[in-house]
Structure 1
């Protein structure tokens, strides 16, 4: 599997009216060693965000080897239905729905129009709309209530791992002891020498709910590393949103197979 395929798909991942009340959150809480994995999972699930629509400005910085670039994009989400991103002047646009991933960019006059099957193949686990949405909202990519988890000793975060790790990959979830959102979620494929790590560096409070302010995605395949930083600004909730998307005629399809 060429790293180019992984980099393109990870870049896809990283791409108003309503209440707005934002402040950066800090946590100086210490680990409570008496808490059980079930209690931590219950507290984490209480922090799931609830909204109909979301709009934000997101600074995206993408680094692969010695190459890096960045831009500020508009992000719009209709929860559980659509994730939409647009670069300045409409130079690139992405739309993800429950059954499709569509993307085009004007610099090279090319587009991608497909589903989640290649992401599933690359990462070795089922990737779908819900998992992508969860990454952006700092929620676990796997439902923690669907498995039995155990605590791993750690001084800064509650670390949970499945009691029986999966055969194809290993999972770890690091949960903040102060407000019980994720500090990190990590997926390892030792046999393939692959790693996907999603770190939540900062959080912010918006309308009395906790949203990520900074996300760092690190993808490692053998000796090749990709880093994507996402900085969320000006989040507003429950306003009216539109999702304009139309692949321009004459564009060349991006072949990832």
Structure 2
């Protein structure tokens, strides 16, 4: 029972590695498709143009609330997410009355989960996340999804790059992972679809409108639908605060009384 709850907490944390924010800044609404397709260009030029819309940061600090549906069980939680680019992703998940339910720390090499509700701890190599995702999923892919940026592995000339319904689409396969990235009229990612070709694992991420953050566009809403075998999660996140390039820490201490789960 404890293992199931711990795995659910981890799974929620992983699919929560996408974000949305709402601040007092003016929202930049995505213009509708006009019917006029973007100018045709070489693959390398298109990839450079789309990657040029990525946000640049050294750290991100995000706070907000999320509504999650895990196999029909609906819960509302608060979320605090911190990122040091290419180093680590830390998050705290809170429940009613401000009670912290758990913490997660993900690095390129490892993942740690602290379940403060049941006083248990899990520490595993990063490959443990492949229990819930395709083996092609790595730390930088999760980091890119969280920041609303393009995924580096998908932005290559071997992918299919075309204009459909007036906007860009990039699709392809890498080993057993099929991917599709849709872009909007702001040339920002509007949707990701990741599907494991050999198992029932799939992830769909949909970004909403944007806000201006330090001269770059940052998503304001997100909807996530994830499936791993029989486990299904629908997650809507609404962040109340987002900051970039400020010092962040990753507090993560395991009390001696906690039970270690293997």
Aligned residues: 247
Q: Which moved more, 1:89-98 or 1:140-149?
A: 140-149
Alignment match, 1:104:
114
Q: Give the deviation of 1:153 after TM superposition.
A: 5.8
* Consecutive unaligned residues in structure 2, runs of 5 or more: 18-22
1:45-100 Cα offsets, whole Å, 9 max, x none, are 10121122222212122212220112122222222212111234443212222222
Report if aligned partners of 2:37, 2:166 keep a CA contact under 8 Å in 1.
no
Instruction: Please give the secondary structure, in 2, of the residue aligned with 1:217.
Output: strand
Distance (whole Å) between structure 2 residues aligned to residue 5 and residue 104 of structure 1: 8
Alignment match, 1:181:
188
Distance (whole Å) between structure 2 residues aligned to residue 156 and residue 72 of structure 1: 37
Give matches, 1:207-218, under 5 Å: 207-218=214-225
Q: Which moved more, 1:188-197 or 1:128-137?
A: 188-197
Q: TM-score, normalised by structure 2?
A: 0.81
Q: TM-score, normalised by structure 1?
A: 0.82
Q: Give the deviation of 1:117 after TM superposition.
A: 1.0
Residue 134 (1) aligns with residue 135 (2):
no
1:100-132 Cα offsets, whole Å, 9 max, x none, are 211212211112211221223543333322111
Alignment match, 1:235:
242
Alignment match, 2:13:
12
* Consecutive unaligned residues in structure 1, runs of 5 or more: none
Residue 74 (1) aligns with residue 80 (2):
yes
Report if aligned partners of 1:7, 1:226 keep a CA contact under 8 Å in 2.
no
Instruction: Please give the secondary structure, in 2, of the residue aligned with 1:198.
Output: strand
Report if aligned partners of 1:101, 1:115 keep a CA contact under 8 Å in 2.
yes
Please point out which of 35, 44, 54 is paired with 2:40.
35
